[in-house]
């Protein structure tokens, strides 16, 4: 299994707006080969910190997604948020190979 996490730090007053965006996400990734799950986590002590957590069957299936037209479409949507302050946020992406369960 392969995990990709993106830590997004948003203005605290916009956290609920960003959560709403993810709750209404396009879900294009959900049908992609090798995709296992998506979660959005909110830090309890720092509510402005949101983590997108995605699980994949393998690094290879993730890389197919990350180089696909569907991936480009999803991320182009993010660049066009009406709120340009949110559109300008760059997440910190971390990738993990699962080595034990």
**In the 3-class helix/strand/coil scheme, how is the chain assigned residue by residue?**
CEEEEEEEECCHHHHHHHHHHHHCCCCHHHHCCCEEEEEEEECCCCCCEEEEEEEECCHHHHHHHHCCHHHHHHHHHHHCCCCHHHHCCCCEEEEEECCCC
pTM score of the predicted model:
0.86
| CATH number of 34's domain | 3.30.70.100
Q: Domain tally for the chain? A: 1
Q: Which range marks the domain in which residue 15 is found?
A: 2-97
C-alpha to C-alpha distance for 101 and 68, rounded to whole angstroms: 29
User: pLDDT-based confidence at 99, cuts 50/70/90?
Assistant: very high
CA 76 to each of CA 22, 55, 71, 80: distance values in angstroms, whole numbers, following the listed order: 15, 22, 9, 7
pLDDT of residue 92: 96
- Per residue in 4-59, pLDDT (tens digit) is 999 999 999 999 988 998 898 888 899 999 999 999 999 999 999 999 999 999 99
């Amino acid at each position: 299994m392969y995990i990709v996490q993106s830590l997004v730090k948003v203005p605290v007053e916009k956290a609920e707006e960003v959560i709403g965006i993810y709750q209404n996400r396009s879900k294009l990734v959900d049908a992609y080969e090798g995709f296992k799950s998506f979660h959005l986590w909110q830090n309890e002590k720092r509510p402005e910190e949101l983590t997108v957590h995605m699980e994949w069957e393998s690094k290879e299936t993730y890389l197919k997604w990350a180089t696909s037209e569907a991936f480009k479409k999803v991320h182009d949507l993010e660049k066009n948020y009406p709120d340009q302050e949110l559109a300008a946020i760059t997440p910190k992406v971390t990738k993990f190979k699962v080595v034990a369960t």
